[in-house]
Chain A
Amino acid sequence: MNLTLKIWRQKNASDKGKMVEYKVTDISEHMSFLEMMDVLNEQLVNSGEEPVAFDHDCREGICGMCSMYINGEAHGPDRGVTTCQLHMRMFNDGDTITIEPFRAAAFPVIKDLVVDRSSFERIQQAGGYISVNTSGNTTDANAILVPKENADKAMDAATCIGCGACVATCKNSSAMLFVGAKVSQYALLPQGQVEATERVKNMVAQMDLEGFGNCTNTGACEIECPKGISLENIARMNSEFLKASFKG
């Protein structure tokens, strides 16, 4: 298929940036979206132009690096997939595809479609961990009983790959689905109880400090999340945060 691509080009973080139009031809419907971008970049390199910078790593939906906003949706029009898992069969011959970086004040553009998502790392550092006794006086993990329902929910929350699609798609650039998932995966397990109060307070404080917006419960993040992280995690974070705040 032949396509017209409208891509955000920005030389560096301080550059103003603009949309630039490109044509690509003979794109197979079996290609992934990133492979289509590879074809474009090969074309640009052969013609002596600067290739389009975009994030990618595992290309199998695990690492959460690919971060494009395609035709007005994070990771494109398919559901439950990252951009690397998006296939060109989702598009038609002759289509014009708009490709932009994830937009949020807390995700500044570094170059073209590459954004700096280190704000997520700082939120994790603020509380996304547990303390484990390694002095030798340890408890066998299997000896700590966890209700099956809680274990399943914690595992579901832990599948968040931190791609940032929730922030990109939220009209308020809110990071609450990400933070909610990270809080939940510990809040649901006995191992996470020791630091539960400080964790949620510190992670929410860091989230606010990074400049993310407030959740208004549109539910867009849940729909666009490639891992199907549920809004239930935001409610759990809200509840954990309120409990922690009233405790003092």
Chain B
Amino acid sequence: MSGLLKSSIGRKFAMALSAFFLMLFLLQHFAINITSIFPDNGATFNKMSHFMGTNPLIQYVMQPVLIFGVVFHFVMGFILEMKNNSARKVSYAKNNGAANSTWMSRNMIYSGGFILVFIIIHFIDFWFPEINTKFIQGDWSGLHDGEFRYFHELQHKFLAPWRVGLYVLGFVFLALHLLHGFSSAFQSVGANNKYTRGLKGFGKVYAIGIPVGFIIIALFHHFNH
């Protein structure tokens, strides 16, 4: 057990566990965001956002775990990539990677890198202002001019076309990353059995469905405000 994280398989296992956690978080994030396009002028979205933003368990336990999960996944990803690069010191003069593997599987580091950039922008847009309002200014009311501010902030952010374009691009890279990452995580924890085919099918639905859903939300607010 002590040497697990030092071994190649142990690191893959840790990557897969953090991936499972992040995929679950993504699903939860989507489930809340989709309520913002409900025809109730943001009432459900405001209610759920306020609950997530003020619940002590989420704010003081799940939020730090999430940040750790995100940082761990990226740092371990880069560590593994560097180790993998050092395992072949001389490159092939001619290499036909497309003959035996998908573009997504060969370029996880690039799709992941773009997602990292997207997450930083996303944090600047939403997370840092939230942290500032709650933890620095001490305002946990969630109100602005007597009304919940969450829905209006969301609408405001998606006014600028460049930001919407950037978010759409971020979600495209997220889909590319998940198209390989979903089934890869199961393989890494040793799950390859009679359910694998079905799981791969579900993985494709998840990998395309969730990012497309996020894109629809971004475009909806851009064109309806």
User: Which listed residue (B10, B180, B189, B192) contacts A232, Cβ 8 A?
Assistant: B192
Verify B192–A236 contact, CB threshold 8 A.
yes
Q: B12 on the interface (CB 8 Å rule)?
A: yes
Q: B191 on the interface (CB 8 Å rule)?
A: yes
Q: A22-30, A38-46, A66-74: which lies at the B interface?
A: A66-74
Verify A245–B10 contact, CB threshold 8 A.
yes
Verify A73–B1 contact, CB threshold 8 A.
no
User: Which residues in B have their C-beta under 8 angstroms from that of A231?
Assistant: 187, 192
Q: A218 on the interface (CB 8 Å rule)?
A: yes
* Max count, chain B CB within 10 A of own CB: residue among A105, A212, A213: A213
Taken together as a complex, chains A and B put the C-alpha atoms of A99 and B71 apart, in Å, by 42
Count CB-based A-B contacts (< 8 Å): 142
Q: In B91-150, which residues have CB < 8 Å from any A CB? A: 91-97, 99-102, 105-106, 108
Q: B42-50, B81-89, B213-221: which lies at the A interface?
A: B81-89
How many residues on the A side are at the interface (Cβ–Cβ under 8 A)? Answer: 50
* Chain A 82-111 interface mask (CB, 8 Å, partner B; 1/0): 000000000000000010100111100000
Verify A72–B86 contact, CB threshold 8 A.
no
Verify B9–A204 contact, CB threshold 8 A.
yes
Taken together as a complex, chains A and B put the C-alpha atoms of A6 and B92 apart, in Å, by 12
Taken together as a complex, chains A and B put the C-alpha atoms of A242 and B7 apart, in Å, by 11
User: Which residues in B have their C-beta under 8 angstroms from that of A218?
Assistant: 100-102, 105-106, 180
**On chain B, which size bracket covers the interface?**
35 or more
Verify B187–A235 contact, CB threshold 8 A.
yes
Verify A174–B87 contact, CB threshold 8 A.
yes
In the complex with contacts A105-B87, A223-B100, A245-B1, A217-B94 CB distance below 8 A: no
**From residue A222, how far is it (CB to closest CB) to chain B in Å?**
8
User: Which listed residue (A69, A172, A242, A245) contacts B84, Cβ 8 A?
Assistant: A172
User: Which residues in B have their C-beta under 8 angstroms from that of A220?
Assistant: 97, 100-101
Residue of B nearest to A96 (CB): B94
Q: In B157-185, which residues have CB < 8 Å from any A CB? A: 180, 183-184
Q: A215 on the interface (CB 8 Å rule)?
A: yes
Taken together as a complex, chains A and B put the C-alpha atoms of A134 and B9 apart, in Å, by 35
Verify B94–A72 contact, CB threshold 8 A.
yes
Q: B198 on the interface (CB 8 Å rule)?
A: no
Residue of B nearest to A108 (CB): B89
* Max count, chain A CB within 10 A of own CB: residue among B11, B87, B188, B190: B87
Taken together as a complex, chains A and B put the C-alpha atoms of A174 and B12 apart, in Å, by 13
In the complex with contacts A103-B88, A104-B87, A219-B105, A171-B9 CB distance below 8 A: no
Q: B4 on the interface (CB 8 Å rule)?
A: yes
Taken together as a complex, chains A and B put the C-alpha atoms of A105 and B192 apart, in Å, by 29
In the complex with contacts A217-B180, A217-B187, A231-B192, A241-B9 CB distance below 8 A: yes
Q: A193 on the interface (CB 8 Å rule)?
A: no
User: Which residues in A have their C-beta under 8 angstroms from that of B83?
Assistant: 213-214
18 A–B contact pairs at CB < 8 A? A71-B96, A103-B92, A105-B88, A171-B84, A174-B8, A174-B84, A212-B8, A213-B83, A214-B8, A214-B12, A214-B83, A215-B12, A216-B80, A217-B105, A236-B192, A238-B9, A238-B189, A242-B10
